[in-house]
C-alpha cells in the first residue's frame, strides 16, 4: 500500500467539512473524554496513532452516496451526525472507512466541544496543563501529559499542583511556534522563570505535533465496487467498539429511503422507545429488524439482497404503522414489569408487535374489558414462558419467519400462544428438572423477576411497580450473624444456600416493600391481611421466627413446586 501523510492541522482545517465525510455504513461516535485525552497524549509522546483509510469518490459520483458530517461539537443528549450537504463541494470527496473515532476526536479536541451530563449538563473543551512536569518514570499506562476536558481555564484554589490551562484548539491560530510562544508569554508574567520555561517548551511541542509533524498516515481506496468497499470496511473495523455485519447492512439500508431522512428517523425513534418505563437499550438493528418483520412479504434475513430499493420503499411506506406497533408492544411489556435486564431476548417481541399491529380497536393496551385483559395476560405469560424456555435459539430468522405466518393466520382471533408453542417445539409446561432450576434462581438475576411473576397469575400488573423482596430480610444472612446465633456449620450452609433464591423471594408493590424494609418476618407478617399468605405462597407454620427458616423453605418449596407444575400454556 502507498500511504500518504498529513499533519493533524491540515486534516482538521483543510479536510474535515470540506472534502472529508462519513459514509452511511459508519457507526456513530462512541469515544468518551478520556479516550480523546489519551489520543492527544499519544501525539505528544510521539506514539503512533495508527493509520486511516479513506474512500475516494470522484466528484461526478459524490451524490450517489449518502454522506454525513464528522462531529465537531459532541452532545451526549443528541449524539447523531448531520447529513452532509455536498452542493458546494466541487471536488472529489473522501469517506472515512477506518479511523472515524480518532479523526472525530481530533476535530472535537481542536475545533469543537464535548457536552455531557455529570450532576448537570456541561459543555467542555480540551485543555492542556502547560505546567505539568514530565516524569519519564511514571506509570506508562497513565497519561504522560495532563490533558483534560474542562468548562474553562480557571484554577481550583484547593488544588496545589502547578497549573496553567491552555485551550488546545488555540494552537491552530499560529503557523509559527515562536508566535504562539510570544502570545503566551503575555499571560505568564506572574509565573516564576522555571514555570515560564516549562510552559514555553510545552507549547512548542504542542505546536510541532499538531501543526508541523506529518503524524497522520492514510491510504486512499479508489474502488467503485460497493460490495468490495463494505468488505474492506468490515475487515478494518474488527477492533475497538464491536461492529457487526448487521450494523453495516442497516446503515446501508437507511441510506436508500426516498422522502424521509431514514437515519434521523431511526435514531429518533430508537431514542424514544428507550425512554419508555424505566428505560431500555434497544438498538437501531432491533428497529430495522422489526421493520423487516412487520412489513408484509419482506425477507427477515440480514443480507445485502434483502435491502433492495423496492423493499426499502415498502418499509418507508409502512414506517408509521411499524413505529406504532413497536411502541405498543414495548408499552405493554413495560406495564408488565419487563425491564432491560430481564428482557433477555428482544426479538421475541416481534410476533407480539405483529399481533398488536392487526388489532384495530383503539385503547387495547389500556383496556379493562375482560376479554382484552385475558388476552393480554396470555401474552404476558407466553412472553415469560418463551424467555425462560429460550425459545429463540440458533436459527432465529427461520423461527421468526414461521411465527410471522402463524400470527397472520390467527390475526382475527385471540393471541395464538398455543400455535406459537407448537411451532417453537417447546413443551407448554415445566418439567421437574426445570422447576428445580427455576426455584434455585438467585435474587436480582436476569430471570428472577420473570419466575416470580408466574406465581401471581391473577395480579393486575398495569401501571404498577413491583419489586423483588426477601421474605426473611437479607441483612440477617451474613456468616458472622449466623455464627453469633450459635448455628452449626451445616445449618449456616443451608441458610446461605437458600436465602437469596426464589424460595425466599416474593413480589411486593413499592409501598408495601418500603413499609416492610428489614423488619423481621415474624413481626411483619402479623400486620398483613388475611389473604397475604395465600397470595405469596407463605406456608402455615406455628412460628416464623428466624430459627425456623429451613422449615419455612421446605414447606414453601412444596407449594411453589405444586404451583409451577400446574402452570401450562395449552
Of the candidates 308, 287, 284, the residue with the CA atom closest to the CA atom of residue 297 = 308
Strands 52-57 and 216-221: parallel
**Separation between Cα atoms, residue 58 and residue 352, nearest integer Å:** 47
Helix (H) or strand (E) holding 218: strand 216-221
Q: Which CA distances in Å does 153 have to 7, 144, 300?
A: 26, 20, 53
Whether residue 363 has pLDDT greater than 90 = no
SS3 510: helix
Whether residue 303 has pLDDT greater than 80 = no
314-362: pLDDT as tens digits: 999 999 999 999 999 999 998 888 888 888 889 999 999 999 998 877 8
459-492: pLDDT as tens digits: 777 667 788 999 999 999 999 999 999 999 999 9
135-180: pLDDT as tens digits: 766 666 678 999 999 999 998 877 888 999 999 999 999 999 999 9
pLDDT averaged over every residue in the chain? 88
Whether residue 240 has pLDDT greater than 60 = no
- Confidence band (pLDDT; 50, 70, 90) for 23? confident
More confident residue, 553 or 367: 553
**Separation between Cα atoms, residue 286 and residue 282, nearest integer Å:** 6
Average of pLDDT values for 93-117?
94
Q: State the cell numbers at 350.
A: 416481534
SS3 165: strand
Identity of the highest mean pLDDT range in 306-310, 333-337, 427-431, 553-557: 553-557
Whether residue 122 has pLDDT greater than 50 = yes
**Separation between Cα atoms, residue 404 and residue 420, nearest integer Å:** 10
More confident residue, 56 or 233: 56
Average of pLDDT values for 18-25?
87
**Separation between Cα atoms, residue 301 and residue 80, nearest integer Å:** 26
Average of pLDDT values for 392-412?
83
Partners of 97 in the β-ladder: none
Q: Which CA distances in Å does 373 have to 65, 356, 369, 377, 473?
A: 49, 14, 6, 6, 34
Task: Note the pLDDT of residue 137.
Answer: 60
Task: Note the pLDDT of residue 139.
Answer: 64
504-528: pLDDT as tens digits: 999 998 888 888 888 999 999 999 9
Put residue 178 in one of left, alpha, beta given phi > 0 → left and psi -120 to 50 → alpha: alpha
Q: Which CA distances in Å does 499 have to 7, 422, 489?
A: 62, 37, 16
Q: Identify the residue whose cell numbers are 422447576.
A: 435
Task: Note the pLDDT of residue 377.
Answer: 87
Put residue 529 in one of left, alpha, beta given phi > 0 → left and psi -120 to 50 → alpha: beta
Task: Note the pLDDT of residue 379.
Answer: 92
- Confidence band (pLDDT; 50, 70, 90) for 311? confident
Residue 250: burial class (beta carbons within 10 Å; 0-12, 13-18, 19+): buried
Whether residue 566 has pLDDT greater than 50 = yes
Identity of the highest mean pLDDT range in 31-40, 136-145, 307-316: 31-40
More confident residue, 105 or 311: 105
Determine which of 11-25, 252-266, 342-356 has the lowest per-residue pLDDT on average.
Answer: 252-266
Whether residue 244 has pLDDT greater than 60 = no
Q: Identify the residue whose cell numbers are 446501508.
A: 252
Q: State the cell numbers at 474.
A: 437479607
Whether residue 220 has pLDDT greater than 70 = yes
Whether residue 241 has pLDDT greater than 50 = no
Task: Note the pLDDT of residue 221.
Answer: 82
CA 533, chain centre distance (Å): 40
Name the residue ranges covered by the structural domains of the chain: 4-218, 244-428, 435-565
Task: Note the pLDDT of residue 568.
Answer: 74
Average of pLDDT values for 186-196?
91
Burial pattern 61-91, b for ≥16 Cβ within 10 A else e, equals ebeebbbbbbbeebeeeeeebeebebeebee
Partners of 509 in the β-ladder: 466
- Confidence band (pLDDT; 50, 70, 90) for 493? very high
Amino acid at each position: 500500500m502507498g500511504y500518504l501523510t498529513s499533519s493533524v492541522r491540515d486534516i482538521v482545517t483543510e479536510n474535515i467539512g470540506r472534502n472529508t465525510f462519513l459514509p452511511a455504513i459508519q457507526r456513530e461516535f462512541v469515544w468518551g473524554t478520556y479516550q480523546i485525552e489519551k489520543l492527544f497524549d499519544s501525539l505528544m509522546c510521539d506514539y503512533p496513532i495508527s493509520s486511516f483509510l479513506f474512500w475516494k469518490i470522484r466528484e461526478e459520483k459524490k451524490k450517489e452516496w449518502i454522506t454525513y458530517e464528522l462531529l465537531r461539537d459532541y452532545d451526549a443528549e443528541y449524539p447523531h451526525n448531520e447529513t452532509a450537504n455536498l452542493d458546494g463541494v466541487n471536488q472529489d470527496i473522501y469517506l472515512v472507512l477506518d479511523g472515524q473515532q480518532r479523526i472525530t476526536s481530533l476535530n472535537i479536541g481542536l475545533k469543537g466541544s464535548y457536552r455531557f451530563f455529570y450532576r448537570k449538563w456541561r459543555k467542555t473543551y480540551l485543555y492542556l496543563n502547560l505546567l505539568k512536569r514530565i516524569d519519564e518514570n511514571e506509570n506508562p499506562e497513565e497519561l504522560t501529559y495532563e490533558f483534560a476536558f474542562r468548562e474553562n481555564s480557571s484554577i481550583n484554589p484547593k488544588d496545589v499542583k502547578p497549573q496553567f490551562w491552555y485551550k488546545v484548539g488555540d494552537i491552530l491560530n499560529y503557523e509559527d511556534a515562536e508566535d504562539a510562544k510570544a502570545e503566551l508569554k503575555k499571560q505568564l508574567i506572574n509565573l516564576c522563570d522555571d514555570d515560564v520555561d516549562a510552559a514555553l517548551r510545552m507549547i512548542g511541542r504542542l505546536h510541532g505535533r499538531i501543526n508541523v509533524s506529518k503524524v497522520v498516515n492514510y491510504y486512499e481506496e479508489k474502488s467503485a465496487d460497493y460490495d468490495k468497499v463494505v468488505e474492506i470496511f468490515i475487515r478494518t473495523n474488527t477492533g475497538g467498539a464491536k461492529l457487526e455485519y448487521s450494523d453495516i447492512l442497516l446503515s446501508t439500508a437507511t441510506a436508500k429511503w426516498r422522502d424521509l431522512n431514514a437515519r434521523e428517523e431511526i435514531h429518533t425513534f430508537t431514542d424514544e422507545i428507550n425512554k419508555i418505563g424505566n428505560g431500555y437499550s434497544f438498538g437501531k438493528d432491533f428497529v430495522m429488524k422489526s421493520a423487516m418483520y412487520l412489513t408484509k412479504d419482506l425477507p427477515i434475513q440480514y443480507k445485502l439482497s434483502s435491502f433492495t430499493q423496492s423493499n426499502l420503499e415498502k418499509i418507508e411506506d409502512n414506517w408509521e404503522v411499524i413505529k406504532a406497533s413497536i411502541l405498543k408492544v414495548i408499552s405493554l411489556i413495560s406495564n408488565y414489569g419487563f425491564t432491560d435486564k430481564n428482557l433477555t431476548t428482544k426479538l421475541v417481541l416481534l410476533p407480539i408487535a405483529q399481533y398488536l399491529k392487526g388489532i384495530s380497536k383503539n385503547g387495547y393496551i389500556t383496556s379493562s374489558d375482560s376479554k382484552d385483559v385475558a388476552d393480554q395476560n396470555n401474552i404476558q405469560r407466553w412472553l415469560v414462558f418463551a424467555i425462560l424456555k429460550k425459545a429463540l435459539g440458533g436459527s432465529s430468522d427461520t423461527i421468526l419467519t414461521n411465527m410471522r405466518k402463524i400470527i397472520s393466520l390467527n390475526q382475527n382471533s385471540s393471541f395464538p400462544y398455543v400455535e406459537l408453542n407448537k411451532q417453537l417445539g417447546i413443551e407448554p409446561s415445566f418439567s421437574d428438572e426445570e422447576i428445580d432450576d427455576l426455584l434455585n434462581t438467585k435474587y436480582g438475576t436476569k430471570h428472577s423477576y420473570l419466575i416470580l411473576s408466574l406465581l401471581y397469575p391473577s395480579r393486575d400488573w398495569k401501571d404498577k411497580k413491583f419489586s423483588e423482596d426477601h421474605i426473611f430480610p437479607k441483612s440477617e444472612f451474613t456468616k458472622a450473624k449466623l455464627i453469633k446465633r450459635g448455628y452449626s456449620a451445616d445449618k449456616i450452609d443451608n441458610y446461605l444456600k437458600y436465602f437469596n433464591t426464589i424460595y425466599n423471594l416474593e413480589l411486593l408493590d413499592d409501598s408495601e416493600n418500603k413499609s416492610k424494609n428489614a423488619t423481621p418476618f415474624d413481626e411483619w407478617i402479623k400486620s398483613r391481611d388475611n389473604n397475604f399468605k395465600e397470595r405469596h405462597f407463605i406456608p402455615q407454620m406455628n412460628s416464623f421466627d428466624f430459627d425456623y427458616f429451613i422449615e419455612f423453605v421446605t414447606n414453601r418449596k412444596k407449594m411453589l413446586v405444586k404451583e409451577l407444575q400446574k402452570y401450562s400454556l395449552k
